[in-house]
Amino acid sequence: MKKVISLILLLAFANLLVQAQSDKSLPGKVSIYTTAMDTDLRLTPTGSSEFADFGQPLETQICVFVDPEKTFQTFLGIGGAITDASAETFYKLPESRQKEILSAYFSRDKGIGYSLIRTNIHSCDFSSYSYTYVKDNDKELNSFSIDHDKKYRIPMIKAAMQEAGGEVTFYASPWSPPAWMKDNNNMLRGGKLKKEFYQAWADYFVRFIKSYEQEGIPVWGVTIQNEPMATQKWESCIFTAEEERDFLKYNLGPTMHKAGLGDKKIVMWDHNRDLVYQRASTYFSDPDVDKYAWGIGFHWYEDWSGGVPVFENIRRVQEAFPDKHMLFTEGCAESFDANRYEAWVLGEEYGRSMIHDFNNGTVGWTDWNILLDETGGPNHVGNFCFAPVHAITGTGEVIYTNSYYYIGHFSKFIHPGARRIIASPSRSQLISTAFKNPDGSTVVVVMNETEKAADYYLWIDGKAAPLTSLPRSIMTLVF
């Protein structure tokens, strides 16, 4: 009898092993989407490939190794900023073009499925002029009103959210407190928030959040200050790490909790990758900050000094503070030139940054203006920049730069709630990142910045699918 029971158990165990092997089997087909220079391919379906047994690759066989069993950060989303400039440009267009742009950005089926929106708290450089929501010297904020935003910005934000089916993470950032709260009495050119107005400024955040939510726009969170170490010719304000920490610790954090907004996320830094570790270490060495800060926001402009992006600094913060989240909050190609709409490097900058930032632990990625006009504005201080989409407001023409398609290789296929998994190319001409979606699909993005095509294999657990990466291209693989 014991031998019979043992045999039954052995057969059951063998059956479990077979089932386990079956569970690890890969789907046979990989769907391919490609954007490539000197071709008509723009986020274009370009066929499929099949997995087959492969085993140990040779050193001469280029591979992108993917390991779905090793999971990392949870994906929040990808999107862009609806600024005054974007909204003003949007409403200069015919209604048919407005619908086209909303669909192109926020529809997952017809467009690239944006799921994040950032906006400015009162004016920034991408506004037609400087303004605030209160009258001068109104410390009690009795005059607070967002009527300015109701003309263009709020309607566009609501229309975008509707196009996305309501599944959008919305957050806001200030560029400067009102002039009368600052030591330079100017919203522009840096200056600092006076200590006597720390509490009034914290109350201002609360008023903003509640006012927008009364308009039917759920607010996920705020950043404390856009670029707090940059004295700009536009709206700007300087906070040292200690000053930002203390404003959060003693004013903004407690004020939001007291107002019933403790569930709103507060993002610190919101500036370049260069100083990010110093800022994070200063913030998070204080246990009181930990109660209020969700994580760190960052931009990509550290190459202003002539260097290259320091992507690895994001990993340093993640290694030191693994319970804090990293969010890319702004990036764009500066120095607008209408002769460069077709410049291929515009999109490549996005692809390169997104791959490295996600691989270094970033949970979400937010482009700057989603739409600008034919001047790279409007911008009230002449800081004209590129956007993925430009409108020629006189004719109603809409121009999609290749940045739009490069971003779409991520945002269209990686869904909120996805988990990053390992993607490891065997040759430097390819860079890659990968995610596993909540529905079980796997998304691998592969980018080739070289002038040569690269034949390679997508390799997973001893099986591989043959693929070709075209010169100066990006491709998304879905299976």
Active-site residue flag, 227? yes
Angstrom distance (rounded) from CA 138 to CA 17: 72
The two three-digit tokens of residue 305, written as one number: 């000094």
Spatial neighbors of 29 by CB under 8 A, at least 6 apart, are 48, 49, 50, 51, 479
Say if CB 478 and CB 33 are below 8 A apart.
yes
Q: Are 436 and 418 in contact (CB under 8 A)?
A: yes
Among this protein's residues, is 330 annotated catalytic?
yes
Contact between residue 121 and residue 210 where contact means Cβ atoms under 8 Å apart:
no
DSSP 8-class letter at 249: I
Alpha helices, DSSP H, located in 215-343: 241-247, 253-258, 276-284, 287-290, 312-320
- The encoded tokens of residue 397 equal 């023409």
For 436-469, letters b (16+ CB in 10 Å) and e give: bbeeebbbbbbbbbeeeebebbbbbeebbbebeb
Quote the DSSP letter at residue 128. Answer: S
181-220 in b/e form (b: 16+ CB < 10 A) is bbeeeebbebbbbeeebbbbbbbbbbbbbebbeeeebebb
From CA 376, how far away is CA 369, in angstroms rounded? 10
Distances (CA, A) of 11 to 1, 8, 21, 70: 15, 5, 15, 30
Contacts of 210 (CB under 8 A, 6+ apart): 259, 261
Which is nearest to 347 in space by CA: 360, 336, 332? 332
Candidates 227, 244, 302, 349; catalytic one: 227
Cα distance between residue 272 and residue 276, in whole Å: 7
DSSP letters, 330-354, are E---BS--GGGTT-HHHHHHHHHHH
Is residue 384 within 8 A of residue 398, CB to CB? The reply is no
Q: Name the active-site residue from 88, 330, 348, 349.
A: 330
Catalytically active residues, by annotation: 227, 330
